[in-house]
Amino acid sequence: MKTQSVALFASGSGSNAVNLIRYFEGHETISISLLVCNKPDAPVVEKAKNLGIEVLIYGNQSFEDGVELTSDLQARNIDWIILAGFLRKLPLSLIRAFEDRIINIHPALLPKFGGKGMYGMFVHRAVIEAKEMQSGITIHLVNEEFDKGRMLEQYSVDLDETDSPETVAMKVQELEHRYFPYIVERTIQQHQ
Ligand code: GRF
CATH number at residue 180: 3.40.50.170
Contacts within 8 Å (CB) and 24+ apart, 113-117? 114/138, 114/146, 114/147, 114/148, 115/146, 115/147, 116/146
Q: Select from 103, 119, 176, 179 the residue to mutate for testing ligand 1; criterion: most ligand atoms less than 8 Å from CB.
A: 176
Mean pLDDT along residues 161-185: 98
| Predicted pLDDT at 146 | 65
Q: Is the CB of 84 under 6 A from ligand 1?
A: yes
Q: Which domain holds residue 67?
A: 4-190
DSSP E strands in the chain: the ranges are 4-9, 30-37, 54-57, 80-83, 102-106, 134-141, 151-158
pLDDT at 162 over 80: yes
pTM for the full predicted model: 0.95
Number of domains in the chain: 1
Q: Whose CA is nearest to atom 1 of ligand 1?
A: 85
| Predicted pLDDT at 147 | 63
pLDDT at 17 over 70: yes
